[in-house]
Structure 1
Amino acid sequence: MKRTAGNKLVVAVRVTPQIEQRLRLLAETTGRKQSFFLQQMIESGISTLEAAWLPPDVLSQVRSGTMPARQEASPAIPDLFDGH
């Protein structure tokens, strides 16, 4: 993963051709970018994923805004955008 100049994270995601087609249709029909809809999906679904996957004490910290900053660990698999 890579951060842009605006400090936004760039993420690559693999999707099926059917999902790609649906996303493209949304973008073309509405005149918005595909990234807009991906951002909307992430923002609207992350709370549900956190509730399902995070331990209750960590979820509580996330929701209260008291989660300590994590140290970046070097990834076990090279990043898609790291130039390797």
Structure 2
Amino acid sequence: MFNSAERRLVRPRKAEKLKVVAVRIDPGIERRLRLLAETSGGKPSFFLQQLIEGGISALEEVWLPADQLAQVRAGEVPGPAAFRAAPDLFDEPEFDR
């Protein structure tokens, strides 16, 4: 079981809002996540969040151009729209008013 200090480490500040992201994963990975959750008393989403936080730096080093990586390391994360022309699955819908 996780204590409250461990859970607090991954909670966003009140001003920030968590985003929901849907991903398809191999059934074997899903079973392993479920086992971690059931054994520890945590939730699969907690472990996914830990995996993402622990691995995103390595992915950035491989996939981002040097200038963008430097921005990210300086704490200046540009918005995703700055790097692509077409909308994607995670864009917010635009409504005519």
The structure carrying a bigger strand percent of its residues is 1
TM interval, short-chain normalised: 0.7 to 0.9
Match of 1:48 in 2: 58
The 1-side partners of 2:34 and 2:21 are apart by: 18
Deviation at 1:65, TM superposition (A): 1.4
| Residue 51 to residue 34, structure 1, CA distance change in 2 (3 Å) | same
Aligned with 2:17 (options 4, 7, 16): 7
Match of 1:3 in 2: none
* Unaligned residue ranges in structure 2 (runs of 5+): 1-15
How many positions carry a matched residue from both structures?
74
* Unaligned residue ranges in structure 1 (runs of 5+): 1-5
Q: Taking structure 1 as the reference length, what is the TM-score of the superposition?
A: 0.75
| Residue 74 to residue 53, structure 1, CA distance change in 2 (3 Å) | closer
Q: What RMSD in Å do the two structures reach over aligned CA positions?
A: 2.3
Deviation at 1:7, TM superposition (A): 1.3
Higher relative contact order (CA 8 A, sep 6+): 1
